[in-house]
Amino acid sequence: MTMPTANGGIAQQTADSQDAEISIFSGESHGDGERRAGNEDQRRGNNDPRHNKQPRQNNQPRRDKRDVHGWVILDKPIGMTSTHAVAVLKRLFQAKRAGHAGTLDPLASGGLPIALGEATKTVPFVMDGRKRYRFTVAWGEERDTDDTEGRVVKTSELRPSADAVRALLPRFTGLIEQIPPQYSAIKVQGERAYDLARDGETVELKPRPVEIHELTLVEHGDTGQSVFEAECGKGTYVRALARDIGRILGCFGHICALRRTLVGPFRETDMIPLEELEALCNRAASGEGSLADALLPVETALDDIPALAVTRADAARLHRGQAVLLRGRDAPNSSGTVYVTVAGRLLALAEIGNGELIPKRVFNLTGLTASPGRSNEKV
């Protein structure tokens, strides 16, 4: 989107695209095939280095942390928790702050956007975006976790035809009501649903409205499995889709494979395997490359937000947390959230209202940022 300049400032630019070492918002249930945050470590054995602290070998000093700002879209491997992935990248980059934009199950692979430094301020914009998944449903068994990690609770000898599956998909497309899985991070009277489920309690979770923009059957053979692709909004549980489709077909089902291919503005082409990141880190340590090459600019998370360029004088006011009056024929006549730039550099997130530009989040991008070439890429 485009916006006119404020106060006749620098030419308008459009984006191409909780602090600390935490999985940001991981205490809440966001669905989207995303599992019980926090519980993922307990079920597999907590492999977060922060919870298994070991004494440093040979009295080696701690590595100095540094300011690193940007996004890394990790192609998370199967078996790794999202919390562990954040810890690994934080160590590779020696970053002071890091967090992820939406938990991805250990069972799942694919896009895990990890925000470093000032990018953590833009995490909510990614979490609110659409997500796309490719997932495989195994027919004949329903499990208490709705995936392969759970115990079998229902079985059937029936196997659905491709036509029967396709005929049902319109019922699960658009705005629908969905009951979250028993093993989810939904709170019930102050307790997480997954904690209650582990204790053997049956939890009555209320249906919630979710939006599924697209649901297609990709493959259906004689193996008793079907492959789907789904594009959905915030709060959708892909595991619940497999459960509900299986119940209606009378054959039951659970997810046996899951890959996330889109998160907000970040696509599969933006993903970097962990092995590639580690190799880049080794090259950078020997002076043959830079970890900046793995970073996407902070503003790539703001793809759907209009940009507004301001003068250096107005930028100084905004940086101090002061509002700027918008006047003159070039002043925008809209309201709402914008991200502000000065001389092509991200400055702040701000609100336009009552003729003023009011800063809400100011960015300090001093330190390691994305390589200049990556700033011009379309995410």
Catalytic residue ranges: 105
Q: Tell me how far apart the alpha carbons of residues 182 and 201 are, in angstroms, rounded to a whole number.
A: 10
By C-alpha distance, which of 75, 63, 69, 73 is closest to 275?
75
Residue 335: exposure state from Cβ atoms within 10 A (0-12, 13-18, ≥19): exposed
Judge whether 232 and 172 are in contact, CB under 8 Å. no
Q: Tell me how far apart the alpha carbons of residues 304 and 148 are, in angstroms, rounded to a whole number.
A: 36
The helix/strand/coil state of 270 is: helix
Q: Give phi and psi for 362, each to the nearest 5.
A: -105, 135
- DSSP codes joined into one string, 238-259: HHHHHHHHHHHHTS-EEEEEEE
Judge whether 240 and 172 are in contact, CB under 8 Å. no
